[in-house]
Amino acid sequence: MNALPEVKIINLGLVDYKEAWDIQEQYFRRAIDRKIARRKGEDLPIPSNYLILCEHPNVYTIGKSGKVDNLLLSSEEVESKEASFYKINRGGDITYHGPGQLVVYPILDLEQFFTDIHKYMRLLEQAVINTLLKFDIQSSRIDGMTGVWLDSALPTARKICAMGVKSSRWVTMHGIGFNINTNLEFFSHIVPCGIDDKAVTSMQNELGREIDMQEVETIIIDEFKSLFGFDIKHK
């Protein structure tokens, strides 16, 4: 029987977006370089896998295919709101990260799991859907739109989790922004994910109370472990 892949859990807490991006890039590049070296015959271990959890200070990020016009603030207005703005190398359009939002960055070598990006995206969504169910919040997908939604078939459809990923040689980076206790006012300054006819929500907004972030983190790690089929690496 083959051993399950191992994944190291890293919780960065509240961390500057650029600092977390640099950490991702470091692990991402290291995994790719190791895969290239192994294919050239070098005797190296398989790449390590990571699940990075964190929160960010207020920041807007826009993916490679995004439209800058979807940021409705000038650079001066962004600064006045004590926020920052980055053009980054993931897919997707503009989104917001801030305190109270759980961000999960999986740095996974998918060749240790499965080689199917569509399946990978759906499992990211499922981890959030399953986590929300633990709090009696029903959620689902909308065809043609990534992320996790409440009341997906109704005019009141609202997004609770955004997604944007990058992959190269089956190694992934970037991931999900899951609104737990997020200040939703910041979303009013953008066209979230380029979608202008649907609202954004959070667990706090839906349940009318502040949510224990650590409880959500514990549950979503368990969901990732179950869905992807890995063991947690403790060293």
Q: Which residues are catalytic?
A: 193
For the record, the structure tokens of 223 come out as 């969901």
Query: How far apart are the C-alpha atoms of 49 and 137, rounded to whole Å?
Result: 30
- Please, are residues 86 and 37 in contact by the beta-carbon 8 Å criterion? no
Residue corresponding to tokens 């051993």: 3
CA distances from 119 to 61, 122, 228 (A): 25, 5, 10
